[in-house]
Amino acid sequence: MFSGGGTGNQGKIKGKAGSSSSSGSSSGSGSDSSESAASGSSSGSNSISSHTHDSGDSSSGTTPLGTPPHVQMASHESLNSESKSSSLNSKLGHESAGSPSAGSPSPPKSACSSSSTSTDHHHHQLSHVLSATSKMTVREGSRTLRPDEPPLFPGEHLEGTAREVTYLCPYTGPKKGTLSVTNYRLYFRSPETDPPYELEVPLGVVSRIEKVGGANTSRGENSYGIEIFCKDIRNLRFAHKQTEVQIPLHLDRELYFSIPVFRRFRILHNIAGYGTSQMNEENHSRRMVTEKLLQHAFPASHKLPFFAFEYCEQYPENGWTLYEPIAELKRQGLPNESWRITKINEQYEICETYPAVWAVPAAASDNDLRSVATFRSRGRIPVLSWIHPESQATITRCAQPLVGVGGKRSRDDEAYIQHIMDANAQSHKIFIMDARPNVNAVANKAKGGGYENEDAYQNAEVQFLDIHNIHVMRESLRKLQEVCYPHIDNAHWLSNLEATHWLDHIRCVLSGSLRIADKVESHKTSVVVHCSDGWDRTAQLTALAMLMLDGYYRTIQGFAVLIEKEWLSYGHKFAQRIGHGDDRHQDADRSPVFLQFVDCVWQIMRQFPHAFQFTEDLLLTLLDHLYSCLFGTFLYNSERERMEKEVKTKTISLWSLVLSNMSDYENPLYNPATRHHILFPLTSMRHLRLWDKYYCRWNPSMRQQEPVHIRFKELLHVNGQLEKRVDELRKELAARQTHESPRVTSAMV
């Protein structure tokens, strides 16, 4: 028995040949909150939040729950520090006070003047000055832009630039600079600081965009602009300069603004001799930025391709070849006498949300599979996720049975579950883990769903894991966002965090996964896992249980295979849950299901820092690119949709980035011997922590202690340099002794 490192509040590691202990509680908590849309404050407020990203922040993983996450902070002086991982921010949005172009001249102010009386010509001039991209000079195949415009990624192009824009940062105050929009990101640069202040945000992160203030109603400073609500727990506010129009004193101001715009132009022109440029009451820079942001932040709503299809970076490794389903099943020892591999769903005819390759009981024929599919929601029948290499106990996943109010039965489905149980010779019992609360499962009968009746399924025991649905999770994250961004209420930190119920939900997911792993490892019984449709809570439970049971999934490549297998191929609806490319921010299908899974992985990593080959930097990269749409990995809802869109041939895999920069994610504390151990984490509330490096990372006051693994990696580097120097000195000494030896012999003669 080995205890995990860290604070001492760790779970248990068990060798596969040893005995197991420590099973977590499964009782769920957290209120069944009402469904709510994504969070956001009123767009009319003048002090609306934005962000500052300290890319060098690192979580020590040892802060007690009762400690507010920013008590370790010293000051707000530094906006950022150099990132420990070069690839982590290479293609992501970030904020920095420094850039390679520090010291470059300030961007010129926009000039909007014309003596023409043609409104169309005036609009053309404004569009040319405020909206048009700057001229580029091609020099040896590279593009040279203005100092205040962003360096472009392969496939990225500038859509528009607005000058004299103010970024309203809730931490460091207003900053005036240039705002650029490309087909991939928003880029803001302010020359007011030395070095210049920079902000980059991938447009895939944007959830919604709102205009703040009106041309005729906003009178305060920085009260006219746009506010951008993001999916990664931050909001951005930009103020645009208003065009001032002098109204002659003898005109009634209220009456003037009540008439149509074109008539106001004519009145001012006739009375005061105004030119059309002076009569422009709508700020064209805001309109241009809003139009471009809406167009490229929501490409699916505007029938445009995702940027992943235009991104053409070259990576040494091809991430699309990482996961091969048959190779992964063979790694688990399949096929064998009890399980077979089938391609019955190769054309996605039986289940369009399942992959083409399944592992099913050898005793079940193809006709049996078709019959069972008619009794399971969405045709998602029980298929193998993982098999124990010794006991042959299995984890299978599926969707709820279509029992309905009348208690409908299926003999084929009952026989199929019996085949799964019979494939494990060491146990004459099988557990059916239903992720839902019992009340929800009963309520689903009214919709034609339900759960297995123990009287119909012999030797089966049904257990409910009390994990709430996607709507409750979405509301919980909204509350957590209000607690963590932009400011933290130190005096009420504990009560505010508790009111979100976020850690309650994390505990339920972890506890349910632990129960599954314990049944398979300790009791040597097979487990069938499902929720309603089997693509949200089911994926969380199976993936986490496999992470605990199989050390291969705790390596960098194995973790990528786990996500490809349990999340991507088995049809977690990433497009609907994240809202990739669409502007329906109030869509009820959105929910942080995958975020919860990654949070649970981090909780396990805290308790077992030596059992994972990767660090939390890999988890942060996953979540950032979950939203960025830079890679094709998380696009669309199923394997079938990705095949139809030719994602593997037209986009780059996220794993190409990871595998090409593995040293950035490797954990120097990793002990390969733990690959043969089972992890049983502690899941009680007193052992869980808020992942503040993710949820609170935009706050510049989050200058936390440097993680041990980063310091250890630096010491290993220094140690390697010293050892290399010792080897050089030894070789030099040996060469000197060899050179002097003949001279000594000659003198003796």
Reported as a pLDDT band with limits 50, 70 and 90, residue 640 is very high
Query: Of the listed 112, 169, 230, 531, which one is catalytic?
Result: 531
* Residue range 142-189, pLDDT digits in tens: 445 577 788 899 999 999 999 999 999 999 899 999 999 999 999 999
Least confidently predicted of 159-163, 237-241, 456-460, 698-702: 698-702
Closest by CA position to 184, among listed 4, 96, 305, 333:
305
Instruction: Give the pLDDT of residue 325.
Output: 97
Q: Which two tokens stand for residue 661?
A: 């920069």
Instruction: Give the pLDDT of residue 14.
Output: 67
Q: Which two tokens stand for residue 501?
A: 């119920």
Does pLDDT of 387 surpass 70?
yes
Does pLDDT of 518 surpass 80?
yes
Closest by CA position to 310, among listed 204, 199, 180:
204
Coil, strand, or helix at residue 188? strand
Reported as a pLDDT band with limits 50, 70 and 90, residue 43 is very low
* Residue range 483-511, pLDDT digits in tens: 999 999 989 999 999 999 999 999 999 99
CA distances from 173 to 167, 170, 223 (A): 8, 6, 14
Q: Which stretches of 222-296 are assigned E, i.e. beta strand?
A: 225-230, 235-239
Among residues of the chain, what percentage have pLDDT more than 90?
Answer: 63
Closest by CA position to 510, among listed 596, 569, 583:
596
Q: Which two tokens stand for residue 679?
A: 């992890």
More confident residue, 121 or 208: 208
* Residue range 465-489, pLDDT digits in tens: 999 999 999 999 999 999 999 999 9
Does pLDDT of 245 surpass 80?
no
Instruction: Give the pLDDT of residue 221.
Output: 79
Residue 287 identity: R
Instruction: Give the pLDDT of residue 277.
Output: 43
Mean pLDDT of the chain: 81
Reported as a pLDDT band with limits 50, 70 and 90, residue 22 is very low
Determine contact, residues 677/14, Cβ cutoff 8 Å.
yes
Instruction: Give the pLDDT of residue 278.
Output: 41
Closest by CA position to 424, among listed 462, 388, 457, 477:
388
- DSSP 8-class letter at 455: T
Against a cut of 0.85, is the pTM above it? Answer: no
Q: How many residues appear in the chain?
A: 749
> Active-site residue 600, yes or no?
no
Reported as a pLDDT band with limits 50, 70 and 90, residue 262 is low
Question: For 463, phi and psi rounded to 5 degrees?
Answer: -125, 135
Instruction: Give the pLDDT of residue 223.
Output: 84
Helix (H) or strand (E) holding 418: helix 411-422
